[in-house]
Structure 1
């Protein structure tokens, strides 16, 4: 009988362990050797973004009519009162002092800087324009060690960096099924990424956009640990093996 008990315990422990293929990241990493790296990513400005726009010149007096402090910076966690927040409205416009409405949605920061510089050059000869997205943030949820909302200051973050920022997967995180939820042109897009493979390095979800939500699903092991899903096939297999062993040992 002791042999039967030991056999049951051994089988149960094997069933509770994750396999190497379920845990290891980038299992086909050798396929990436010498692969070209995408360096041209720039976020696209969208409605409801808040832009920090600063302009400067050798003569500060000529700049003053174009400066505006909106107080929006306090709503996005920035304590620097010198930053100017411009909200992109539903039509993709910002209201800029003197210039009036300026269309910015669907453009990169560099493109908006060029547009504003051209318009301001009519008034300021040596104008310098800098544009930043103040509300660039991502949300990481699910089976990571530190879920939460993370502000991204340099406006450039990859999916692996986001997982690292959130403290990596928990042991119960499903590396084969990482979900990215993204809003694009008024539509919600859902993508799924397998972290055990490297093909997502070339996908549209490798670089995250502002307000992306990353959700790490629990693995089957994690679901079973929660008590919501008993592993019926495994239990039946275990019972079958045990009964067969008892029959053999009692003959």
Structure 2
């Protein structure tokens, strides 16, 4: 009788552990707490516009024309891909000396300038030498961040506009998974051995106006698992070895019980 009770107890314990491993509830809370005022947050960081660097790839087009920067440049009317490329603009690489070679105006020093400053400079140069009232659009198309961890689609994401925020990139990745720790999202920034880690709490509404959440080229964003997900994983790992052990014990007890009859 004692052995039968032990058998029932072991079976019951196994069922309980299996049930615990399967239970999971998403309790993410985004943008609700107000742990600090916007003024307090804004004093901890300042927004710095990206400055163009050598090896950057610039996409430039004249919004006054569907053609390339210079209206006289030929565009094939029979090639759909050529027309699409023209509408998107040409791409130009910034050389090691910080200049970019542009049609008709030659080398222009752009390294160290923000996107807005470089746009104005190129507009002025084309206005003086070739085009009437050009409206230049300039994008730095090689900028990107890397998003890792508990998001639905991790990977590399381009920074296509100034002041791209953490929330926007997470949105592009499909949002957080149920296992994500929304209270401690790490932004790793720096080069070589010098790395700076910024922690953002997305459960705090003021994180939306936190200037530290504005991303820069080369940032690595890591979203770890929350405690609930870690506990669930630990239980699942525990079950991977406890289940065979319980099965072996149950079998041994059953054989022993039948042998005593």
Q: Does the pair score TM above 0.5? A: yes
1:188 and 1:85, CA in 2 relative to 1: closer, same or farther beyond 3 A?
farther
- Other-structure match for 1:26: 31
Q: What RMSD in Å do the two structures reach over aligned CA positions?
A: 4.6
Higher RCO (CA < 8 A, seq sep 6+):
2
Matching residue within 64, 81, 87 for 2:85: 81
Where in structure 2 are the equivalents of 1:128-147 lying within 5 Å?
128=134, 129-147=136-154
Query: Does the CA contact (< 8 Å) of 2:150 and 2:224 recur in 1?
Result: yes
Give 1 or 2: higher helix fraction: 2
Structure 2 residue matching 1:107: 3-state secondary structure: coil
- In structure 1, stretches of 5+ residues that fail to align are 34-39, 70-78, 232-251
1:125 and 1:168, CA in 2 relative to 1: closer, same or farther beyond 3 A?
closer
Where in structure 2 are the equivalents of 1:1-251 lying within 5 Å?
9=16, 13=20, 20=27, 23-28=28-33, 43-55=50-62, 63=70, 80-82=84-86, 83-124=89-130, 126-128=132-134, 129-155=136-162, 157-183=164-190, 188-227=195-234
Residue-by-residue CA offset, 1:110-152 (whole Å, 9 max, x unaligned)? 2112111222333125141221222343332111112122345
- In structure 2, stretches of 5+ residues that fail to align are 39-46, 76-82, 239-261
1:91 and 1:187, CA in 2 relative to 1: closer, same or farther beyond 3 A?
farther
Residue-by-residue CA offset, 1:221-251 (whole Å, 9 max, x unaligned)? 43444459989xxxxxxxxxxxxxxxxxxxx
1:204 and 1:103, CA in 2 relative to 1: closer, same or farther beyond 3 A?
farther
Aligned residue-pair number = 212
1:46 and 1:220, CA in 2 relative to 1: closer, same or farther beyond 3 A?
farther
1:225 and 1:160, CA in 2 relative to 1: closer, same or farther beyond 3 A?
same
